[in-house]
Amino acid sequence: MGANFRNSEYRVSTAASFGLAILCCVLVFSGLQMYKTQLGATRLMRLVAGYVASWLFVFTLTALSNLENVMFGKGFQARVIPEVLLCMILACSAAGMVHRVSVTVCLLCSLVGLYYINKMGQASTTPVAPSVTSFKKKK
């Protein structure tokens, strides 16, 4: 009756992932702008704004990386200096439009998110080496 979701993999193409990431970027940024007075009102909401802005970093980095893969080929990887720094500046500036405390929270949460994105990327691209057994011949 129901589908077994653990054994099946659902993947979207790189172009579709780019479109979804751009859509999420627009939604998160517009949400931050629409509710910036409420998000900047209390301490807790400033922290929430920084956390939400860190998701803007993740979606922006995903969109940029997918765009580069579509344009330059599958082997192209995002680098720290141009791509990650640009996405970090965009997310922190969006958080800064809400409150300056949100910038610090955005920076910290984005660094944690970047760590896990890097960890997932290494796990998915690192090939598993087959175990090699050596046999000695007797003379």
- Can you say whether residue 37 is alpha, beta or left, with left for phi > 0 and alpha for psi between -120 and 50 degrees? alpha
Is pLDDT at 7 greater than 60 in this prediction?
A: no
Does any domain span residue 134? no
> Could you tell me what percent of the chain has a pLDDT over 90?
71
Q: Give the domain extent around 22.
A: 14-122
pLDDT at residue 62, as a whole number: 95
Is 109 a member of any domain?
yes
Q: pTM to 2 decimals? A: 0.83
> Rounded to an integer, what distance in angstroms lies between the CA atom of residue 60 and that of residue 55?
8
Q: Identify whether 136 is part of a domain.
A: no
In a domain, 130, yes or no: no
pLDDT at 137: 66
Total domains, the chain: 1
pLDDT, mean of residues 107-129? 87
Higher per-residue pLDDT: 109 or 130: 109
Is 111 within the bounds of a domain?
Answer: yes
